[in-house]
Amino acid sequence: MRNKSVLVNLALAALLGGLAGWVLWRQPETGQLAVPATATAPGVAAAGPPDTAALPDEQNNIQIYKSVSPAVVNITSTTLQQDFFLNVFPVQGSGSGFLIDDRGNILTNYHVVSGARSIEVTLSDRTRYAAKLMGRDRLTDLAVIQISDRKKLPSVKPLKLGSSDTLQVGQKVLAIGNPFGFQGTLTTGIISALGRSIQDQEGRLLEDLIQTDAAINPGNSGGPLLNSRGEVIGINTAIFGQANVGIGFAIPVGLVNDILADLMSEGRVKRGYLGVISREVTPAIAQLLELPVSQGLLVFQVVPGGAADRAGIRGGQRRGFLGNEEFVVGGDVIVELDGTAITTAQEMSQYVLKKRPGDVVRVTLYRGRQRQTLEARLDERPGPD
C-alpha cells in the first residue's frame, strides 16, 4: 500500500506541475530581459535611425563625417633601414591623406611618404591599393600620391579644397584621420591661432600654419582639416610635443592651391632663386665697417651668371675679421625686396621662395653710402625639392 500511495502522490505532483507551467506560459511577460530576434555581433553597434534629438552643431558634425570620411585614406609606407651590422630591414610607417580628384590622386604630407620604397593606400571600406609618388615638396611638407590601379576604384567623391584667406580665430574646425591606426577618427575644435611658424624634426621652418585644439595625434598627418561646410582648409601636419595636448598645426590650403599644379605636372615645385650668399648685418658689424645702415644683408658672393649677378649686385672683394669670425667685406648691403624690409637671410630666402622663376624682384641696396634699386629676374631654385 505504501508503494502504491507514493506512486499516486508523484503522479498528482507531476500533473499539478504541468498545469502550473501551462498557466505561467500563457501569461504575458512582464519586466523580463528579452533577446531580440536578430542580435548584432559583440562590439558591433547596429545601425539605427538618425538621432533627431541631436543639436544643430552635432548634426553638422554627423553630416560632414558621413560625406567626407569615405575620401579620407590610410597610407602605409615601407622604407628600408640598416641596423648596426649593416643588415637591411623594412620599416613601416603610417599616416593619412585624402582624395582630391576622380583620378586617384591623394594629397598628404611629404614626411608620410619620404623615402618610401612602396606605398599602400587603404580606403574607408578597407580595400587596399598600391600607390605611387607623383610629386613632393620638402619645404612645405606636402606630397601627392596616386592609386596605381584606378580601374578598380570605387565611386568616392573627392574632397573640395576651400580657402584659407578668410579664416578667423575661434572658427569651428573638424579633423579626420587615422591616429594610432584607428581609421576614420573624427575630432572637432576651433582655430586657436593663425600665422604660426614652427620647425619640423629636420629643422626646416614651416610658416603661416593654422593652430587648432582639435585632437591631432601620430597617424593624423596628411589628413584634412575642415570647416563647417566640409571644405578642406588645411592639411594636418604636426603637434606640439609627443602626443596631443591641444596644440596642433595644419598647413593652410592656400599654400596647397599655390603649388598643387606644379606637384602634379612636374613632380616638384618651381621656385625663384636669387643666387646670393650673404651675412646678416649687426650693429657691431655696421660700426666696424662704417656701414650706412645697422640692419640688412651684407653680400659676400653672388652666383656667377645668376639672377643677382645679371642684375648688377656685387659681392665682397676682401676678407675681414670680427673677433674670431672671418667674413668678406666690400659687397652691397641689401635692405629691401619689393619694398619689404629684409633683415635676415631667412627673411630673404622665404620671400624669394614664394616667387616663381622669371619673376622680377626689385632689390634695394646700399653700395657704399649710395642707396639704389636694381631689378633681378629670378632663376629656378636648384635641387629636386
Distance CA 34, CA 42 (A): 17
Torsions phi, psi for 222 (to 5 deg): 95, -10
Q: Is 60 exposed, middle or buried (0-12, 13-18, 19+ CB in 10 A)?
A: middle
d(CA 60, CA 231): 13
How much of the chain is in helix, strand and coil states, percent to nearest 5?
20, 35, 40
Using alpha carbons, list the distances in angstroms from residue 381 to 110, 307, 317, 355, 370.
19, 11, 26, 10, 30
Classify residue 353 as exposed, middle or buried by CB count within 10 Å of its CB (0-12, 13-18, 19+).
middle
* Residue 106: closest CA among 136, 151, 85, 81: 136
| Residue tagged active-site, from 164, 221, 278, 349 | 221
Selected catalytic residue, list 77, 96, 137, 141: 141
Secondary structure (H, E, C), 29-82: CCCCCCCCCCCCCCCCCCCCCCCCCCCHHHHHHHHHHHHHHHHEEEEEEEEEEE
Any idea what DSSP says for residue 2?
A: H
Q: Is 125 labeled as catalytic in the residue annotation?
A: no
The reply to whether 148 belongs to the active site is: no
Q: Between the CA of residue 357 and those of 111, 258, 271, 348, 376, what are the distances in Å?
A: 26, 14, 6, 16, 11
Question: Annotated catalytic residue: which of 94, 96, 111, 137?
Answer: 111
Catalytic residue status for 111: yes
Q: Active-site positions?
A: 111, 141, 221
